[in-house]
A and B are shown apart, each in its own frame.
Chain A
Amino acid sequence: MKQHLGRQSGVQNVEVSLLDGKVDVTPKEDGQIDPAQLLKATYDSGVTVAEMDMTAQGKIVKDSAGNFGLQVEPNRSFVFAPNELSKGLESLADSQTVVTVRGQLYKKAAGKKKADTSAPLRLLLLEVVKKE
């Protein structure tokens, strides 16, 4: 799995801990990494992802449907799963403020053996690390 993930676009380094089933992925400096692709690649390597967390920085944006999200690249943004933390960032939409957040992108549904990798990833904010 480590080699399979290491070959994915934008991946700098992969650390696997067999003991606690943890996989740490360090993106390349350019940050051109696709978490959805990573999720699919992990599943393709025969391993089930129970949870995926991400730390990212970017700007708060509001899409045409009125959803708020974090834009990490000019053409890539993650829509927030609404919670108290995301509500607190809504006022920063379309401003120049860069925020660093930690959040959960994926969690396997309880009782499901097979992960649904086709559903769009929503970012459930766990922590607002920095606003600048």
Chain B
Amino acid sequence: MKRKNIALLALLGLMVVPAAQAQVKHIEMRVEGMT
């Protein structure tokens, strides 16, 4: 049972980590007509 829980946690970790790594980090715009 314990081994099954550890395997489940490891699987969840594999699914969560790549998603957390993917992201937009910064956006920069050059604009015109700003006063």
A21 touches B23 (CB 8 A): no
Q: How many A-B residue contacts, CB cutoff 8 Å? A: 105
Q: For A127, what are the chain B residues with a Cβ–Cβ distance below 8 Å?
A: none
Which residues of A (37-77) have their CB < 8 Å from a CB of B? 38-39, 42, 46-59, 71-74
Q: For B19, what are the chain A residues with a Cβ–Cβ distance below 8 Å?
A: 73-74
Give the shortest distance, in Å, between A132 (CB) and chain B (any CB).
8
A58 touches B22 (CB 8 A): yes
Q: For B32, what are the chain A residues with a Cβ–Cβ distance below 8 Å?
A: 21, 47-50, 108
Complex CA gap A20/B18 in Å reads 37
Q: For B18, what are the chain A residues with a Cβ–Cβ distance below 8 Å?
A: 59, 96, 98
Q: B30: CB under 8 A from chain A?
A: yes
Contacts A47-B33, A74-B19 hold; do A26 and B28 have CB atoms under 8 A apart? Answer: no
Interface residues of A (CB under 8 A from B): 1, 10, 16, 18, 20-27, 30-31, 33, 35, 38-39, 42, 46-59, 71-74, 96, 98, 100, 108
Q: A21-B30, A24-B27 are known contacts; what are 20 more A-B pairs with Cβ within 8 Å?
A: A1-B34, A22-B30, A22-B31, A24-B28, A25-B26, A25-B28, A25-B29, A31-B23, A33-B24, A35-B24, A47-B34, A48-B33, A49-B31, A50-B31, A53-B28, A54-B28, A56-B24, A73-B23, A96-B18, A108-B32
